[in-house]
Chain A
Amino acid sequence: MISFLSIAMLTPLVILSVVNGKWGLYKQFFEESPIGITVTEENGIISFANKKFAEICGYKLSEIIGEHFTKFVAEEDRKKMEDFHKKRMSGKDAPSEYEYRCLRKDGKIRYIKIKMIKLPENRTLACKIDVTEEREMKELFERIADTSLMGIFIYQNGHIVYMNKSAEEITGYSLEEMKNINYWEIVAEDYREIVKERGSQREKGMKIKPDVYELPFYSKNGALRWGIFSFNNIMYRGKPAAIAIAVDITEIKKMKKEVKESREKYRILVEMSQEGICMDDEDEKIVFLNDAFAHSLGYEKEELFGKKIFDFVYAEDREKLEKEIKKRKEGTPGRYEIRFVAKNGEVKTFIVSSTALYREGKFAGSLSVNLDITERKRAEEKIIESEALYRAITEHSPNGIFMIKGGKFVFVNSKFLQLTGREMKEISRIDYMDLVYNEDRKLIYDFVDKAVKGKEISTPEFRYISVEGIRWGVLNGSLIDYKGEKAFLGVLTDITEIKEIHEKEKRFIERISHYFFNPICIAKGYIQLAKENVGEEDIIMLEKAKVAIERVENVVKNIVKEGEIYE
């Protein structure tokens, strides 16, 4: 690389040759030098220029020699350079090394690094290096570095010597702050030594592997952050250094952790779920399922992977499933009931909630939550059967069946309505006591009260009020749980007709008693008296008459006492 070092080494020779008039000796060397060289007189006129300077300026040598040096300086730098020249010529201090902008013949600007050497007789030797490319590269690097979202660090001798904005943002430190500490001090404790060791080796120009790895570090506020660091060896300002390019992955790490935790939660949720979860692809093949779903069909998960969901659908429900899948493909979620056939051949009923899955905008299958309702269905069927049976019993019962809660009828069967001559609407409004004949209310109240208290009670005969009039009934009942509360379930047996028959029977017997026993008694009485006043033959006849009457009396007695006709 061309540097001013070579110029500096040549300076004594240059001075010597010019002073001693042996210019010719080195003239060819200067002319062929890769560094632009000019000699300027006291008045600023260029008296010598080499090919390289002509190349930098875009002029021919003949167009340079004899011209004032400011002709080849951009307007912005002319005054500065004239001032430097004047000072130099008047023996004052002026910078001997600096950069300026060269104005080329074609009007373009080149950046030149210049080294001034004052020669005897107020001449000036200027060595010029075109640093335009270098400068552009530097500018490019700075722009890239400034706009980069990655942190760029350059470290040398254990200290950060360069940081871009992103590096400052990632660490929270400014370059000035970082310069005062060793870079490894911000690295997390467990990684500090290795970072220090590798950094030291890189600073010495050694290639260290791995050169890309994740590293935890502390930002200025003490928060632990993570970065992916890529390291390389460089030369910085002429000395070995190392560059590190870092991407802050703290948030990504955090997100990854959250995603991992979320996935774990999801996995646990799915596995713990009592509901069967199943995912099938666009060909209806099972690609995921949980234990609950597999076990509800009597399988292990592994047995079902890759199988078609249709393989398990009850034949009669295949068409239904096809329709549902068609809906999924159209993007419509669904909730439906379907039957699957378990491994043991049992037909099981599920309620399925299903939604379509998409990959890159295309239908990729369905996700379904399958709730096994087989037992529930059976229970429902039993309830329906039981209800039908109960309804049949209650509706065909010859007795009135009713339920009272809070003094009101909450249920009555049709026989009860028939017995009371009332409609359901009316019955549900009235108090049950309204149906009890006034004189028997205490009896019924006591009966229900005892029943509610769980006491054993005899069933009372009582009178109730039908629309048609007073009727007789017998009440049976007990306390039951109804919708979480106590209720009285009663059975009313109408005994009005039986009562009437009994009454008729009683009156019949009473009449028999009256109309038979009285005359018989009188007859027997007179016969007995008559026997005392008649002869022997008459006594025998009266006695026979008496026996005959007593036979009738016995028959009547048996009718009255036993209801049977015999002597």
Chain B
Amino acid sequence: MNKVLLIVEDERDMQELMKKYIEKAGLNLEIYSAYSGEEGIEKYRELMEKGKKPGLVIMDLKMPGIDGVETTERIMKIDKNASIYGFTAFFDTDWSERLMKAGAKKIIPRYMGFEGLVKELKQYFGI
């Protein structure tokens, strides 16, 4: 599996913290950031074209512009085998259900924290 991680998250603090925790955990992932849904789609396409198709996409739900659901739908159109995890405060809502319907494989609630996220990544990438 390609150890490329694309994080689609509009909050910079969140982006920074996720990277710090991943690095601290020594997961050795090649991390790319997108700060909106549109940017996330472009980044995914770009990475695919470069032969760096993300092994996993961490997707926020509420973002300026298109939300995480639509972003997921569009990425799935580009790559029907794309793996997307939601990392969102909107767990247990219709919104998160729609994200799953759009193609996300899992929802990681924000209250799990970054350590929880790292744990899921380790498990996913088999590290």
- List residues of A whose CB falls within 8 A of some B CB: 506, 509-510, 513-514, 516-518, 520-522, 524-526, 528-529, 553, 557, 560-561
Contact = CB atoms under 8 A, between A and B. Distances in A.
Q: Is the interface of B mostly helix, strand, loop or mixed?
A: helix
Interface magnitude class on chain B: 20 to 34
9 contacts: A509-B93, A513-B88, A513-B110, A517-B110, A521-B14, A521-B110, A525-B13, A525-B17, A525-B114
Interface of B: 11, 13-14, 17, 20-21, 24, 62, 88-95, 109-111, 113-115
A371 B47 CA distance: 97
A318 B93 CA distance: 79
A560 B89 CA distance: 10
B94 A506 contact: yes
Contacts of A521: 14, 17, 89, 110-111, 113-114
Nearest to A532: B24
Contacts of A506: 93-94
Contacts of B62: 510, 514
Contact of A522 (B13, B24, B91, B94): B13
A529 B20 contact: yes
A525 B14 CA distance: 9
A510 B90 contact: yes
Contact of A525 (B21, B91, B95, B109): B21
Contacts, number: 60
A525 B113 contact: yes
A421 B114 CA distance: 54
A522 B15 CA distance: 10
A516 B90 CA distance: 11
Contacts of A557: 111
Contacts of B13: 522, 525-526
Contacts of A524: 113-114
B111 A520 contact: yes
Given A513-B89, A522-B14, 7 more contacts: A506-B93, A510-B95, A518-B11, A521-B17, A521-B114, A522-B13, A526-B13
B17 A517 contact: no
Given A522-B13, A522-B14, A524-B113, A516 B89 contact: yes
Contacts of A525: 13, 17, 20-21, 113-114
Contacts of B114: 521, 524-525, 528
Contacts of A513: 88-91, 93, 110
Q: Is the interface of A mostly helix, strand, loop or mixed?
A: helix
Contacts of B90: 510, 513-514
A518 B14 contact: yes
Contact of A528 (B14, B89, B115): B115
Contacts of B20: 525, 529
B17 A526 contact: yes
Contacts of B91: 513, 560
Nearest to A561: B92
A330 B122 CA distance: 113
A428 to B, nearest CB: 39
B89 A522 contact: no
Interface centre among A510, A513, A528, A553 (most CB of B within 10 A): A513
Nearest to A517: B89
A522 B11 contact: yes
Contacts of A514: 62, 89-90
A518 B110 contact: yes
Given A522-B13, A522-B17, A560 B92 contact: yes
Nearest to B92: A561
A13 B25 CA distance: 195
Contact of A553 (B17, B111, B115): B111
B52 to A, nearest CB: 27
B60 to A, nearest CB: 9
Contacts of A510: 62, 90, 93, 95
A518 B111 contact: no
Q: Lowest 8 CB-CB distances: which A-B pairs, in order?
A: A517-B89, A525-B17, A513-B89, A517-B110, A521-B110, A522-B13, A525-B114, A513-B90
A517 B94 CA distance: 17
Nearest to A557: B111
Nearest to A523: B13
A548 to B, nearest CB: 15
B1 to A, nearest CB: 26
Contacts of B11: 518, 522
B89 to A, nearest CB: 3
A520 B115 CA distance: 14
Contacts of A518: 11, 14, 89, 110
A507 to B, nearest CB: 10
Interface centre among A509, A510, A524, A525 (most CB of B within 10 A): A525
A526 B113 CA distance: 11
Nearest to A525: B17
A552 to B, nearest CB: 11
B126 to A, nearest CB: 24
Contacts of B115: 528
